[in-house]
Chains A and B, each alone.
Chain A
Amino acid sequence: MIPFLIVIPFFGGIISWFSQKYSDKLPRCVALISIILMFLINLIMFLNNFFEKLFFSYKIFFNNNFSIVCIKNLGINFSLYCDRFSLYMIFITILLGLLSITFSYNKSYKNPGMFYLNILFLISSIIGSFLSTDLFFFFLFLEIMIFPVCFLNFFWGNNKNSKKNNFDYIKNFFLHSQVSSIILLFSILLLVNYYHSINGIWTFNFDILKTVFVHKNFLENLILYGFLFSFIIKLPSVPFHTWFPNMIMYSPKGNCVDLIGFLSKVGVYGLLRFFIPISGNILYKIQVFMIFLGIINVFYGAFMASIKNNLKHILSYINISHIGIIMLSIFNLNNLSYEGLLLYIISSTISSSAIFALSNKIYEKFNTYDLRKMGGLWKELNFVPNFFLFFTLSNFGLPGTGNFIGEILIFIGFFLLYPKISAFFTISIIFFVFCSLKMFHRIFYGNLKNYSKNFDLNFIETLLILFFMFLLILIGLFPNFIFYKFNFLDIFLVNCS
């Protein structure tokens, strides 16, 4: 059952590309059908995971493991493993894919088959990176992920001036991701060679490789720092964040933006899965530095968001500050903050992606992202302003939503470690409130300025947004159902003691 999650979008993309010959509307239908199929499969897997007796008789189909021998000499297996954490991440990916396809459904692109092929390949590679336990295939999926993003931004990118101008930002992104991936490859090969020099076996399986660490060598430190560095570039932390805002700024008119934003969550996943279980003493050495970096991320993101006048820039800088909170909670090493982390990842991605989708709707009104040329939308539209208000409120942690509980748990965990710094750190909430309310005020209040068309959300789009709201409130009111028979700390902090 697991490989279908990778195979369906892959072949769906190819079919949508070939269906472009017959009509322009077929590719998006194919993309939508394949995404809905994946959603159903994911639901079945969730049900199977929660209630084990439900599909007991068909256990072969609903197995959590899957592996095929790929290269026998080097010990590379195409092995997939699915636990609750990766199921949640896949669930979010599929939701975002659904959002991006429905919000770009009514637009006409130049080469629709290629467009949907890129989106589906991106989804399949992200899901593959969440599922694979073999380091070779994890790297492979990370590497494939770069290209659809580049092509989406280059060919369907939203830049009125020229393609040449757009290419500069893609160059920035491409070089950053290449550097990070080649460092990752280097450290993976170092790890494999290190294991071979001790035990005489070639494997790329991470479950076997992580037993080799003694935490006394220089070589082990090199491997660990390589992993850390590459993942820090992947989640745009502060010194390496420059590709992120412009990449989102010039992304296509529909809503595949949030998929690009979701690339950062792959970095978070990599840190949790592949860095923390093997980093023993190093984690305590770099803890202070990483927490400091996270705090810098939060304040820098909030500061830049309050300065900028561009809507997309503001949203992306708020996203960077969210990543700062996530980094802070990862390196806290508390049970409380780890539980908050999972809630925070899920709810913040849902809320921020919904805001991105709505901001694209606003763009269609005014034809700019510039806040100075907007104003007075509140009277004109029924659905968009209300939804926008809800998601901005949940983005800075309104009580009752999932973000609030995640943030509170993270702050309590942080308080147990450094009480004085965390007391100072709560000021950041005010920054969030300031910049997001300022943005809201600029767009929806004041005098009505000239705009082109008059329209609102579709029926399907409203349904999807309502579903997102429902999820956020569900997590906010009943956070315990996520942790049903699931201990987050046991999975990652095995060796840390």
Chain B
Amino acid sequence: MLYIFKKYMELFPFIIIMFSISFGMFLIIFKRNNLAMLLNSVLGILSTIFYLLFFKDKLLFKNNFFFHFDKFSVFFSLLILFTILITSIFVYFYLDEKKLYIEEYYILLLLFLLGSISLSFSKHISVFFISIEIITLSTVALIYFFNNHKNTVEASLKYMIFSSFSSAFILFGFGIIYFITGKLEYENLYLIINQLEIYKKISIFIGISIILLSVFFKMSLFPFHFIFPDIYQVSTPLYLICFSTVNKLSFFSFLIYLFSSTSILNTNFFYNLVQIFSLLSIFFGNLLALFQKNVNRLLGYTSISQIGCLMITVLSLNRFTFSLENMFFYFLNYVICNICLFGAMTILKKGYIYREIDNKFFKKNIFSNMFYTYPLLSISLFIVFFSLSGMPLTIGFINKIYILSYSIYNNFWILTLSIIISSIFGTYIYFKIIISFYNEISDVKMNRVRFSFIENILEFFIFIFSITLILYNFFLFYRLFFEKFFNKILFY
């Protein structure tokens, strides 16, 4: 038994999640119960988190044929597990009153989790491809799950068609690589690439660039962004908690491993390619968000520019002095902000009877009347928007300074200009949203429905998460404690 455990140690996170999925299915067959499903999924996720935290030192040296373990992938998978844990708690809150077939939502979420974790650990094409397919299938179902908008079917179909196209392109790119190198895993590809002749090298680069472009589609960078605002508009904020974070984090983990294994960023062509895409998405994401009237759509456009900033932090790895630390904090900031924002939106959407949010942006949106009905929630959202726009006293400000100083340090003048302009636009947009918290609407529908116990607890949770964005500053004064703490968890 111990021998089996030691030999297949690295597979246990996936096994635990699969076990909780199948156990949940059995639960549905015997008796439908919301609370039991919640406990099942929470137990599964918590046990994987503790497993990864306790055995991470041993897992690092157990590189499998299919999976790799390094500090980036462990960090990203921990973030993914954390977000899914919180979304499942929100699901329990949200599904409380709905009657029919609601327990399947947990299983779809766990499938989504399985796909994204295996993607972040993957180093073989088969695992990579299977996990992408699991993610797309679960995403299509999750977008369509609450059919509360007239365009949900359209958005989910669009997502399915385009993502199948992009996965076909990924297969094509890996096919080119396999044709030349004869390898299906992408570990240490640079050893082979360096020995090849020039025309073979060029064809491998073409294959990698096809893979990169299709991955950029999945992450909704600028020229491939067009269906993502539709999804943001249509789907419930409950699903957006994980869609806005997990879907991107897993691909970032994959990209970091691809960059390090093929070392393509040392060539100028790929470096400029990735930089141009991130630059365009930084600029145009906030520019297009200026003209939006719908709040969800607007948030979708701003998330594009945030992802551009995240790409630049990934690009700055090993090129700037504090890039590693900065990257970890940027991702933490992104995840916490998105959890707080969309979690607050789920509470609001359930708390008010008023459910149509397509009306005029300034006068009536989901946030209006919020300061008087949910004061604690409005403060936490206030902090979140400050941090997203990079205002001082939050993590976002320090991240903005890191990015700007990186681009100035390397003399990327166009990049600095686009960051500056987009940050002006972004602060303007977020300021507009913050102002709309305080709109008083004397409408009976906009009053708070009830003060349930779970709602108060979730409100308090969101408040604590948002406070951590500020507490970072006070940690800075106790630098020694901080360094030890993070060396233990992250930089082992």
A8 interface residue per 8 A CB criterion? no
The stretch among B130-138, B232-240, B403-411, B452-460 that forms the contact with chain A is B403-411
**A304: which B residues are within 8 A, CB to CB?**
none
A189 touches B428 (CB 8 A): no
A37 interface residue per 8 A CB criterion? no
B420 interface residue per 8 A CB criterion? yes
Instruction: Select which of B362, B391, B409, B420 is within 8 A of A193 by beta carbon.
Output: B409
B322 interface residue per 8 A CB criterion? yes
Interface string of B391-414 (1 = CB under 8 A from A): 111000110010011001100000
A174 interface residue per 8 A CB criterion? yes
| Contacts A140-B393, A155-B438, A167-B435 given; does A192 touch B424 at CB 8 Å | no
Instruction: Select which of B321, B391, B408 is within 8 A of A189 by beta carbon.
Output: B408
B392 touches A143 (CB 8 A): yes
A73 touches B322 (CB 8 A): yes
**B420: which A residues are within 8 A, CB to CB?**
182-183, 186
A68 touches B477 (CB 8 A): yes
| Contacts A68-B477, A164-B362, A186-B420 given; does A193 touch B405 at CB 8 Å | yes
List the B residue with the shortest CB-CB distance to A125: B392
| Contacts A140-B393, A186-B416, A186-B420 given; does A71 touch B476 at CB 8 Å | yes
List the B residue with the shortest CB-CB distance to A78: B477
A190 touches B408 (CB 8 A): yes
- Give the distance in Å from the alpha carbon of A459 to the alpha carbon of B476 in the complex: 48
Chief secondary structure at chain A's binding surface: helix
B479 interface residue per 8 A CB criterion? yes
- Give the distance in Å from the alpha carbon of A351 to the alpha carbon of B405 in the complex: 43
- Give the distance in Å from the alpha carbon of A193 to the alpha carbon of B404 in the complex: 11
- Give the distance in Å from the alpha carbon of A192 to the alpha carbon of B408 in the complex: 10
Taking CB atoms and an 8 Å cut-off, the chain A residues in 43-101 that contact chain B are 68-74
**B401: which A residues are within 8 A, CB to CB?**
74, 136, 185, 189
| Contacts A143-B392, A155-B438, A167-B435 given; does A189 touch B404 at CB 8 Å | yes
- Quote the shortest CB–CB distance from A148 to chain B (angstroms): 13
| Contacts A72-B479, A167-B435, A182-B420 given; does A174 touch B408 at CB 8 Å | no
**A139: which B residues are within 8 A, CB to CB?**
392
Interface string of B239-252 (1 = CB under 8 A from A): 00000000000000
B423 interface residue per 8 A CB criterion? yes
A154 interface residue per 8 A CB criterion? yes
Instruction: Select which of A143, A155, A186 is within 8 A of B404 by beta carbon.
Output: A186
B431 interface residue per 8 A CB criterion? yes
List the A residue with the shortest CB-CB distance to B423: A182
Instruction: Select which of B427, B428, B476 is within 8 A of A70 by beta carbon.
Output: B476
A178 touches B428 (CB 8 A): yes
| Contacts A74-B322, A189-B405 given; does A178 touch B476 at CB 8 Å | no
**B416: which A residues are within 8 A, CB to CB?**
186
- Give the distance in Å from the alpha carbon of A178 to the alpha carbon of B428 in the complex: 9
B408 touches A178 (CB 8 A): no
| Contacts A69-B479, A186-B420 given; does A192 touch B405 at CB 8 Å | yes
- Quote the shortest CB–CB distance from A191 to chain B (angstroms): 10
List the A residue with the shortest CB-CB distance to B404: A189
Instruction: Select which of B363, B409, B424, B476 is within 8 A of A179 by beta carbon.
Output: B424
A144 interface residue per 8 A CB criterion? yes
- Quote the shortest CB–CB distance from B75 to chain A (angstroms): 20
A150 interface residue per 8 A CB criterion? yes
- Give the distance in Å from the alpha carbon of A180 to the alpha carbon of B407 in the complex: 20
- Give the distance in Å from the alpha carbon of A38 to the alpha carbon of B266 in the complex: 57
- Give the distance in Å from the alpha carbon of A72 to the alpha carbon of B416 in the complex: 24
List the A residue with the shortest CB-CB distance to B382: A147
- Give the distance in Å from the alpha carbon of A61 to the alpha carbon of B435 in the complex: 42
**A155: which B residues are within 8 A, CB to CB?**
438
Interface string of B314-356 (1 = CB under 8 A from A): 0000000110010000000000000000000000000000000
- Give the distance in Å from the alpha carbon of A163 to the alpha carbon of B435 in the complex: 11
**B477: which A residues are within 8 A, CB to CB?**
68-70
**B479: which A residues are within 8 A, CB to CB?**
69, 72
**A183: which B residues are within 8 A, CB to CB?**
420
A417 interface residue per 8 A CB criterion? no
Count of residues in A whose CB is under 8 Å from the partner chain: 33
A466 interface residue per 8 A CB criterion? no
A144 touches B362 (CB 8 A): no
- Quote the shortest CB–CB distance from A375 to chain B (angstroms): 37
Taking CB atoms and an 8 Å cut-off, the chain B residues in 432-485 that contact chain A are 435, 438-439, 476-477, 479
**B362: which A residues are within 8 A, CB to CB?**
164, 167
A175 touches B393 (CB 8 A): no
B438 touches A143 (CB 8 A): no
- Give the distance in Å from the alpha carbon of A93 to the alpha carbon of B479 in the complex: 34
- Give the distance in Å from the alpha carbon of A174 to the alpha carbon of B479 in the complex: 35
**A140: which B residues are within 8 A, CB to CB?**
392-393, 397
List the A residue with the shortest CB-CB distance to B321: A73
- Quote the shortest CB–CB distance from B186 to chain A (angstroms): 33
**A69: which B residues are within 8 A, CB to CB?**
477, 479
**A71: which B residues are within 8 A, CB to CB?**
398, 476
- Quote the shortest CB–CB distance from A36 to chain B (angstroms): 27
- Give the distance in Å from the alpha carbon of A163 to the alpha carbon of B438 in the complex: 11
A144 touches B435 (CB 8 A): no
**B325: which A residues are within 8 A, CB to CB?**
73
- Give the distance in Å from the alpha carbon of A196 to the alpha carbon of B479 in the complex: 23
**B408: which A residues are within 8 A, CB to CB?**
186, 189-190, 193
**B439: which A residues are within 8 A, CB to CB?**
163
| Contacts A178-B427, A182-B424, A186-B416 given; does A154 touch B392 at CB 8 Å | no
**B424: which A residues are within 8 A, CB to CB?**
175, 178-179, 182
**A73: which B residues are within 8 A, CB to CB?**
321-322, 325
- Give the distance in Å from the alpha carbon of A139 to the alpha carbon of B397 in the complex: 11
**B405: which A residues are within 8 A, CB to CB?**
189, 192-193
| Contacts A178-B428, A190-B408 given; does A144 touch B423 at CB 8 Å | no
**A189: which B residues are within 8 A, CB to CB?**
401, 404-405, 408
- Give the distance in Å from the alpha carbon of A70 to the alpha carbon of B475 in the complex: 9
- Quote the shortest CB–CB distance from B256 to chain A (angstroms): 22
Interface string of A121-136 (1 = CB under 8 A from B): 0000000000000001
**A163: which B residues are within 8 A, CB to CB?**
439
- Give the distance in Å from the alpha carbon of A164 to the alpha carbon of B436 in the complex: 11
- Quote the shortest CB–CB distance from A294 to chain B (angstroms): 28
- Give the distance in Å from the alpha carbon of A295 to the alpha carbon of B159 in the complex: 62
- Give the distance in Å from the alpha carbon of A178 to the alpha carbon of B439 in the complex: 24
- Give the distance in Å from the alpha carbon of A144 to the alpha carbon of B473 in the complex: 15
- Give the distance in Å from the alpha carbon of A167 to the alpha carbon of B434 in the complex: 12
| Contacts A155-B438, A179-B424, A182-B424 given; does A144 touch B409 at CB 8 Å | no
**A190: which B residues are within 8 A, CB to CB?**
408
**B409: which A residues are within 8 A, CB to CB?**
193, 196
- Give the distance in Å from the alpha carbon of A187 to the alpha carbon of B435 in the complex: 30
- Quote the shortest CB–CB distance from A80 to chain B (angstroms): 15
- Quote the shortest CB–CB distance from A120 to chain B (angstroms): 16
- Quote the shortest CB–CB distance from B486 to chain A (angstroms): 13
- Give the distance in Å from the alpha carbon of A174 to the alpha carbon of B423 in the complex: 13
Interface residues of A (CB under 8 A from B): 68-74, 136, 139-140, 143-144, 147, 150, 154-155, 163-164, 167, 171, 174-175, 178-179, 182-183, 185-186, 189-190, 192-193, 196
Sorted nearest first, the 8 A-B pairs with minimum C-beta distance are: A140-B392, A143-B392, A189-B405, A178-B424, A193-B408, A182-B420, A73-B322, A189-B408
List, sorted by A's number, 22 A–B pairs whose CB atoms are closer than 8 Å.
A68-B477, A70-B477, A140-B392, A140-B393, A143-B391, A143-B392, A150-B431, A154-B435, A154-B438, A155-B438, A163-B439, A171-B428, A174-B427, A174-B428, A174-B431, A178-B427, A182-B420, A183-B420, A186-B416, A189-B408, A193-B408, A196-B409
Interface residues of B (CB under 8 A from A): 321-322, 325, 362-363, 391-393, 397-398, 401, 404-405, 408-409, 416, 420, 423-424, 427-428, 431, 435, 438-439, 476-477, 479
11 A-B pairs besides A144-B392, A174-B431, A196-B409 with CB distance below 8 A are A69-B477, A73-B321, A73-B325, A74-B322, A74-B401, A143-B392, A144-B391, A163-B439, A175-B424, A189-B401, A190-B408
